[in-house]
């Protein structure tokens, strides 16, 4: 069942990265189209640790996430200090991620480490398998849930709803946004690391704008202020193109139309504003099962 | 010195293309606070329609241009009424409008790809020799494109500042709800804006196609126009033009004097630095002075 | 609350897995005659969307022809084509799908090295032979640490060989002493070719007077060209991965009044380049492994275009080469017994002077690269490809 394994692994990696975007975009209301850059940072960093320094891959994954998270301050601190919002922040993250890709494309080696520029970083030990990914996804969902239900998470939601009001209530805007960005980049970094250990190969061409906007789409499809939503849609976005692959050229067209249709008929996303709970899932399933006429 | 002047000339001509696109973004953004991510699909669509007009229907250039503009207007207004208006009326967050626009973009670009294939085509017009001033070459096509862009932008300015409709759009740009209360038909404003978007993207697409090539993914360049309009100051037309020129010149100078492979890195760094020191863009002002 | 999440995810996951299983069942339903499936992973959408349409019909035709002649040793062939969206992740996923779900015995593709490198590991792990078409990076068949990928093959020559030959031709035949490089830094193909050109050219005594770069998707080269004009280079080496880059650079060089000879690799050897910038590229040198102008292909080209409305190009030829190599290997395997993937692999490895679509090919068992592939030096005259000479490796 290698193929279904592959789909689940790729979807799992996508889910972890999408959870990161969900915390930043879905909860804190900061629009990012640059998460591919954080994935690249985490991916390369953890791969280098394992391949060149023989670090065990679990701490290496965490270190990769940490590295991506810390690097996010380079863009986060100045951007939040000058209160960049909306499209401004989106383009700044895009610029950041493109800059990282350009640097990777131009870097043949860092000291004795041959990152290979456009050739890609090869012979990374292949540690990612189905169980590693499932474990990582479970932990990622657990910690994301812990975060959004904590006081910090509530502060994030407050900022996402109304920044001015949040500030008046005593929320430290700069610190809270930086924290959300840090966690978000950490998730992306870990996802990038898993990707590298799965392909045993990393190339700057993996981390394009397309990757970032796929992640963003997963969050918006899945629903704002929801974790379960992005998890489900991140899975679908990987799996559905796989199922639709027989349609070849038509696939991306259908994908595009679906974007519009979902936005119009279910603008809050599949699970918008709904926290994880069983009632909702049940209601949703029952509504699906009922005959069309009754809906 | 000659090299420097040549680089400046090239930079301005690149900036002119960015400007046409950036103005389209700025116009939509000023009224709806929303970046029209489908702009690159409109642009490719415009270029392909003109290409079909000339190469398959054997139209003269001007007729093909009109055909392309009309069809692109149709597409642009169609996208507005089907993909954006329902969301606007529901007052959905901007994020959803963007995703919807990304969907339009994905669908249109890939339909073009399905019909015409992914090859790069030369636009079927005679190539013209450049003018040489000393050793510095100035492309005739660049001059023509520059003049037409300038003419279109001037017309747009006249429309916005010298007509009642223009007044309506400017009023909507400042406060769309209040404007509606004052008797301005929001849907009419939307249609006018997207008609203008269609015209601008068709013209930009055709000139981009002539200058470079016609292919489904040609719209990728719009990301630069987006950056230019943000560097200038989102939502302001003159700022979009200034931002475009600055970005065009910066790019050629970086390629010429620093490193051509790091060119885009500098464009993005420029963007980030501008945003840090001028969070509203170079010429961005407060809401009440938009457009 | 967490528990609830998991249960709904699980339901959803189960639902999707069921869906996948259903599709796989319908796809692999029992067949009466013996069928060997061959996969083809190619680009139908994305930046390289011009690769698929020019090659898929040719491969299908060839498979139909084999089947019409009764198949191979009682086996009918079936070609299964999947799109990669020009993305590595998709290329990896479809390769796994071909292997696990469609149970192919061999795979053709991919056309670019960034996908070829991770796919080589999949081939080894699944023990399914893969014949890459135009993935020319050394590390596609031999890993960075020098280990051979036993199940990965290719039918094109590798970058070092082409770069070496280009430098040799430029220095010795054209008498060039000063060359400029314009490199797509995001393309391993271009970076590799230029690296080997530079090494050999400077070794011969030539000088690289300008090294400029750009990034995949760029359309604007005037800043770089203006600098190259200043540098006094006699030759502009631009072995781009897509012909668009060379076509645009040639147009823009003309607009800048830069008269320079272009030199390029097989990535741009497609008829569309001539339509885009034929007059501007007059006298350009393009090295390839195969030429559409060779008289022996004229008939094929005309028939292909008439039948499918698409012009044949290098991807058509290399695709056919890969398919015919697999066809040969299946025939050999059938002679010896069952055409299992391993038997096909063994036959591929020991290929010797086998006539494929473009030329006779001998596979190097140590590297899985074709040996003695001739290198054709083409030029452009009156917007037509003209074959200058054939470069035979020593």
Q: Which of C45, C215, C275 sits opposite B122 (nearest CB)?
A: C275
| A119 lies within 8 A of chain C by CB | yes
How many residue pairs from chains A and C have C-beta atoms closer than 8 A? 133
Q: CA–CA separation, B105 vs B103, rounded Å?
A: 5
Nearest to C135 by CA among C343, C324, C322: C322
> How many Å separate Cα B191 from the centre of its chain?
17
A186, B75 contact by CB (below 8 A): no
Model confidence at C5: pLDDT above 50: no
Chain C contacts in chain B segment 88-147 (CB below 8 A): 110, 113, 117-122, 127, 130, 132, 135, 137, 139
Q: CA–CA separation, C54 vs C62, rounded Å?
A: 14
A51, B242 contact by CB (below 8 A): no
| A252 lies within 8 A of chain C by CB | yes
Number of H helices and E strands in chain A, helices first, is 12, 0
DSSP annotation string for A179-203: HHHHHHHHHHHHHHHHHHHHHT-B-
A118, B284 contact by CB (below 8 A): no
pLDDT of residue C61: 93
Q: Return all residues near C2 (Cβ < 8 A) that are at least 6 apart.
A: A141, A142, A145, A276
| pLDDT (tens place) for every residue of chain A, 295 residues total | 567 888 888 899 999 999 999 999 888 888 888 899 999 999 999 999 998 898 899 999 999 999 999 999 988 887 887 766 666 787 788 888 888 988 898 888 887 878 877 788 887 888 888 889 999 999 999 999 889 888 888 888 888 877 788 888 888 888 899 999 999 999 999 999 999 998 888 888 888 877 887 888 788 778 778 888 888 888 887 777 666 655 656 777 877 887 788 888 876 667 766 555 545 556 666 666 665 444 4
The mean per-residue pLDDT over the stretch B263-286 comes to 77
Q: Is C271 helix (H, G, I), strand (E, B) or coil?
A: helix
pLDDT 10s digits, B76-121: 999 988 888 888 888 777 767 877 888 898 899 989 988 887 778 8
Site from B116, B265, B280 to mutate, A interface, most A CB atoms within 10 angstroms: B265
Q: Is C363 helix (H, G, I), strand (E, B) or coil?
A: strand
Q: CA–CA separation, B234 vs B217, rounded Å?
A: 25
Q: Which of C88, C94, C121 sits opposite A206 (nearest CB)?
A: C88
Model confidence at C295: pLDDT above 90: no
Q: Return all residues near A20 (Cβ < 8 A) that are at least 6 apart.
A: A35, A38, A183, A184, A185, A186, A187, A188, A191, A215
Domain spans of chain C?
31-157+298-363, 159-288+375-391
Q: Please give the share of chain A, as a percent, with pLDDT higher than 90.
A: 26
Q: Reading across the β-sheet that carries C152-154, which strands appear in turn?
A: C76-83, C35-42, C106-108, C130-132, C152-154
Q: Which residues of C touch B10 (CB under 8 A)?
A: 220, 222-223, 226
Q: Which residues of C touch A249 (CB under 8 A)?
A: 44-45, 83
> Do A199 and C94 count as a contact with CB atoms less than 8 A apart?
no
Model confidence at B284: pLDDT above 70: no
pLDDT of residue C31: 44
Model confidence at B287: pLDDT above 50: no
Cα end-to-end span (Å), chain A: 38
Q: Which residues of B touch C278 (CB under 8 A)?
A: none
SS3 annotation, chain B: CHHHHHHHHHHHHHHHHHHHHHHHHHHHHHHHCCCCCCHHHHHHHHHHHHHHHHHCCCCCHHHHHHHHHHHHHHHHHHHHHHHHHHHHHCCCCHHHHHHHHHHHHHHHHHHHHHHHCCCCECCCCCCCCCEEECCEEECHHHHHHHHHHHHHHHHHHHHHHHCHHHHHHHHHHHCHHHHHHCCCCHHHHHHHHHHHHHHHHHHHHHHHHHHCCECHHHHHHHHHHHHHHHHHCCCCHHHHHHHHHHHHHHHHHHHHHCCCCCHHHHHHHHHHHHHHHCCCCCCCCCHHHCC
pLDDT 10s digits, C242-262: 888 999 999 888 888 888 999
Tell me C219's DSSP state.
-
Average pLDDT, chain C: 85
pLDDT of residue A84: 65
For A56-76, b where at least 16 C-beta lie within 10 A, e where not — what string?
Answer: ebeebbbbbbbbbbebbeebb
Q: Is C337 helix (H, G, I), strand (E, B) or coil?
A: coil
Determine phi and psi for B101, rounding to 5 degrees.
-65, -40
The mean per-residue pLDDT over the stretch C147-164 comes to 90
pLDDT 10s digits, A185-209: 999 999 999 999 988 888 888 888 7
pLDDT 10s digits, A34-89: 899 999 999 999 999 998 898 899 999 999 999 999 999 988 887 887 766 666 78
Q: CA–CA separation, B136 vs C95, rounded Å?
A: 52
Name the pLDDT band for C185 (thresholds 50, 70, 90): confident
Q: CA–CA separation, A16 vs A19, rounded Å?
A: 5
Q: Which residues of A touch B96 (CB under 8 A)?
A: 220, 263, 267
Nearest to B40 by CA among B130, B106, B113: B106
DSSP annotation string for C272-312: HHHHHHTGGGTT-EEEES--TTSHHHHHHHHHHHHHHSS--
Q: Which of A243, A249, A281 sits opposite C19 (nearest CB)?
A: A243
Higher pLDDT, B173 or C345: C345
> How many Å separate Cα C43 from the centre of its chain?
11
Domain spans of chain A?
2-294
Tell me A87's DSSP state.
H
Could you check whether C31-157+298-363 and C159-288+375-391 share the same CATH topology?
yes
pLDDT 10s digits, B66-82: 999 999 999 999 998 88
Q: Which of C85, C100, C121 sits opposite A3 (nearest CB)?
A: C100
Chain B contacts in chain C segment 211-230 (CB below 8 A): 212-215, 217, 219-220, 222-224, 226-227, 230
B133, C257 contact by CB (below 8 A): no
| A273 lies within 8 A of chain B by CB | no
Determine phi and psi for C355, rounding to 5 degrees.
-75, 115
Beta-bridged to residue C207, according to DSSP, are C178
Give the chain A residue whose CA is nearest to the CA of B115.
A249
> Do C1 and A276 count as a contact with CB atoms less than 8 A apart?
yes
SS3 annotation, B161-174: HHCHHHHHHHHHHH
Give the chain A residue whose CA is nearest to the CA of C20.
A243
CATH number, span C31-157+298-363: 3.40.50.2300
Nearest to C385 by CA among C282, C304, C297: C282
Distances (CA, A) of C304 to B56, C111, C357: 22, 21, 14
pLDDT of residue C346: 93
Q: Which residues of B touch A272 (CB under 8 A)?
A: none
Task: State whether the Cα torsion C259-C265-C270-C272 is positive or negative.
Answer: negative
Name the pLDDT band for C157 (thresholds 50, 70, 90): confident
Q: Please give the share of chain B, as a percent, with pLDDT higher than 70.
A: 96
Model confidence at C130: pLDDT above 70: yes
pLDDT of residue C269: 83
pLDDT of residue A135: 93
C63, C323 contact by CB (below 8 A): yes
Name the pLDDT band for C90 (thresholds 50, 70, 90): confident
Neighbours of C283 (CB within 10 A): 11
Q: CA–CA separation, A94 vs C185, rounded Å?
A: 20
Q: CA–CA separation, A172 vs C174, rounded Å?
A: 69
The mean per-residue pLDDT over the stretch B258-271 comes to 83
Higher pLDDT, B237 or C3: B237
The mean per-residue pLDDT over the stretch B57-64 comes to 88
Query: Looking at chain A, how many residues does it have?
Result: 295
Tokens read off for A256: 């595009």
Beta-bridged to residue C172, according to DSSP, are none
> Do A91 and B87 count as a contact with CB atoms less than 8 A apart?
no
pLDDT 10s digits, C34-63: 899 999 999 887 777 778 888 999 999 999
Nearest to C217 by CA among B227, A212, A209, A117: A209
Q: CA–CA separation, C252 vs C232, rounded Å?
A: 17
Q: Please give the share of chain B, as a percent, with pLDDT higher than 90.
A: 12
| B45 lies within 8 A of chain C by CB | no
pLDDT of residue A140: 92
Model confidence at B45: pLDDT above 80: yes
Among the ranges A227-236, C18-27, C343-352, which has the highest mean pLDDT value?
A: C343-352
Number of C-alpha atoms within 13 angstroms, CB side, residue A274? 21
Nearest to C92 by CA among A113, A202, A272, B200: A202
Long-range contacts of B267-270 (CB under 8 A, 24+ apart): B267/A95, B267/B224, B267/B227, B268/A94, B268/A95, B268/A96, B268/A98, B268/A99, B268/B227, B269/A95, B269/A99, B270/B231
pLDDT of residue A194: 93
Average pLDDT, chain B: 83
> Do B127 and C272 count as a contact with CB atoms less than 8 A apart?
no
pLDDT 10s digits, C297-343: 888 989 999 999 888 888 899 999 999 999 999 999 999 888 999 99
The mean per-residue pLDDT over the stretch C207-216 comes to 90
| C251 lies within 8 A of chain B by CB | yes
Chain B contacts in chain C segment 159-198 (CB below 8 A): 183, 185
Q: Does domain C159-288+375-391 have CATH number 3.40.50.2300?
A: yes
Cα end-to-end span (Å), chain C: 71
Domain spans of chain B?
14-220
CATH number assigned to the domain with residue range A2-294, chosen from the 4 options 1.10.3470, 3.40.630, 1.10.10, 1.20.1250 = 1.10.3470
Task: State whether the Cα torsion C125-C127-C128-C132 is positive or negative.
Answer: positive
Higher pLDDT, A91 or B18: B18
The mean per-residue pLDDT over the stretch B124-145 comes to 77
C337, C90 contact by CB (below 8 A): no
pLDDT 10s digits, B196-207: 889 988 988 988
């Amino acid at each position: 069942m290698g193929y279904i394994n592959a789909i689940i692994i790729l979807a799992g990696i996508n889910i972890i990265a999408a959870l990161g975007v969900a915390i930043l975009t879905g909860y804190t209301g900061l629009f990012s189209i640059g998460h591919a850059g954080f994935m690249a940072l985490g991916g390369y960093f953890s791969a280098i640790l394992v391949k060149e320094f023989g670090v065990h891959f679990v701490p290496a994954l965490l270190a990769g996430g940490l590295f991506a998270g810390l690097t996010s301050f380079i863009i986060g601190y100045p951007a939040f200090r000058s209160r960049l919002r909306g499209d401004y922040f989106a383009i700044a993250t895009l610029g950041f991620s493109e800059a990282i890709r350009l640097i990777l494309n131009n870097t043949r080696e860092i000291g004795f480490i041959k990152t290979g520029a456009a050739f890609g970083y090869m012979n990374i030990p292949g540690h990612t398998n189905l169980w590693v990914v499932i474990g990582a996804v479970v932990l990622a969902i657990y910690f994301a849930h812990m975060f959004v239900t904590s006081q910090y998470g509530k502060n994030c939601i407050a900022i996402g709803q109304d920044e001015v009001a949040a500030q008046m209530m005593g929320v430290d805007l700069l610190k809270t946004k930086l924290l959300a960005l840090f966690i978000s980049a950490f998730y992306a970094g870990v996802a990038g690391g898993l990707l590298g250990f799965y392909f045993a190969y990393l190339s700057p061409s993996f981390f394009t704008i397309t990757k970032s906007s796929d992640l963003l789409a997963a969050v918006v499809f899945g629903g704002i202020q929801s974790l379960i939503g992005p998890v489900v849609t991140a899975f679908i976005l990987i799996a559905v193109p796989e199922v639709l692959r027989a349609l070849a050229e038509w696939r991306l067209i259908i994908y595009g139309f679906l974007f519009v249709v979902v936005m119009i008929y279910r603008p809050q996303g599949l699970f918008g504003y709904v926290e994880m709970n069983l009632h909702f899932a049940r209601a949703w399933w029952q509504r699906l099962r009922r005959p069309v006429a009754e809906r | 010195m000659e090299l420097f002047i040549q680089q400046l000339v090239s930079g301005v001509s690149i900036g002119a293309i960015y400007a046409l696109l950036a103005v389209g973004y700025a116009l939509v953004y000023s009224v709806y606070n929303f970046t029209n991510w489908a702009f690159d699909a409109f642009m490719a669509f415009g270029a392909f329609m003109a290409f079909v007009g000339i190469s398959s229907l054997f139209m003269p250039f001007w007729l093909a241009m009109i055909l392309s503009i009309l069809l692109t207007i149709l597409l642009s207004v169609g996208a507005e009424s089907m993909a954006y208006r329902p969301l606007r009326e529901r007052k959905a967050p901007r994020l959803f409008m963007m995703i919807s626009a990304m969907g339009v973009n994905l669908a249109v670009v890939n339909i073009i790809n399905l019909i015409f294939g992914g090859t790069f085509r030369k636009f079927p017009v005679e190539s013209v020799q450049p003018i040489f001033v000393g050793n510095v070459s100035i492309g005739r096509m660049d001059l023509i494109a520059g003049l037409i862009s300038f003419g279109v932008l001037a017309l747009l300015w006249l429309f916005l500042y010298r007509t009642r409709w223009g007044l309506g759009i400017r009023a909507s740009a400042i406060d769309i709800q209040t404007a509606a209360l004052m008797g301005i038909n929001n849907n009419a404003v939307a249609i006018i804006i997207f008609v203008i978007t269609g015209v601008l993207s068709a013209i930009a697409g055709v000139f981009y196609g002539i200058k470079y090539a016609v292919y489904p993914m040609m719209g990728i360049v719009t990301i630069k126009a987006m950056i230019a309009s943000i560097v200038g100051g989102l939502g302001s037309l003159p700022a979009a033009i200034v931002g475009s020129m600055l970005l065009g010149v910066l790019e050629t100078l970086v390629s010429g004097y620093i490193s051509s492979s790091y060119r885009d890195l500098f464009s993005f760094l420029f963007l980030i630095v501008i945003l840090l020191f001028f969070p509203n863009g170079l010429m961005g002002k407060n809401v009440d002075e938009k457009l | 609350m967490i528990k609830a999440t998991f249960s709904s995810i699980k339901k959803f996951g189960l639902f999707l897995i069921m869906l996948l299983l259903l599709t796989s069942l319908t796809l692999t339903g029992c067949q009466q005659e013996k069928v060997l499936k061959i996969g083809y992973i190619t680009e139908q959408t994305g930046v390289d969307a011009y690769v698929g349409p020019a090659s898929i019909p040719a491969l299908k035709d060839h498979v139909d022809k084999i089947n019409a002649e009764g198949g191979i040793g009682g086996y009918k062939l079936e070609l299964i084509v999947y799109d990669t969206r020009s993305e590595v992740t998709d290329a990896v996923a479809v390769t796994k799908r071909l292997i696990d779900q469609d149970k192919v015995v061999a795979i053709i593709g991919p056309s670019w090295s960034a996908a070829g490198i991770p796919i080589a590991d999949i081939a080894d792990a699944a023990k399914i032979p893969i014949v890459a078409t135009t993935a020319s990076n050394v590390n596609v068949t031999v890993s960075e640490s020098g280990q051979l990928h036993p199940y990965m093959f290719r039918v094109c020559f590798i970058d070092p060989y082409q770069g070496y030959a280009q430098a040799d031709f430029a220095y010795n035949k054209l008498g060039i002493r000063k060359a400029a490089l314009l490199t797509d830094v995001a393309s391993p193909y271009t970076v590799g070719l230029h690296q080997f050109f530079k090494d050999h050219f400077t070794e011969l005594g030539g000088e690289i007077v300008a090294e400029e770069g750009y990034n995949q998707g760029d359309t604007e080269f005037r800043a770089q060209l203006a600098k190259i004009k200043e540098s006094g280079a006699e030759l502009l080496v631009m072995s781009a991965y897509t012909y668009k880059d060379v076509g645009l650079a040639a147009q823009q060089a003309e607009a800048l009044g830069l008269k320079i000879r272009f030199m390029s690799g097989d990535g741009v050897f497609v008829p569309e380049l001539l339509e885009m910038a034929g007059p501007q590229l007059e006298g350009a040198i393009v090295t390839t492994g195969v030429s559409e102008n060779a008289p022996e292909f004229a008939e094929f080209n005309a028939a292909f275009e008439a039948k499918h409305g698409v012009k044949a190009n290098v991807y058509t030829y290399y695709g056919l080469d890969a398919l015919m190599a697999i066809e040969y290997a299946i025939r050999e395997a059938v002679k010896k017994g069952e055409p299992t993937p391993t038997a096909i692999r063994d036959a591929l490895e020991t290929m010797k002077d086998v006539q494929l679509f473009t030329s006779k090919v001998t596979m190097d068992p140590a590297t899985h690269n074709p040996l003695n592939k001739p290198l054709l030096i083409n030029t452009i005259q009156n917007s037509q490809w003209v074959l200058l000479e054939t470069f035979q490796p020593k």
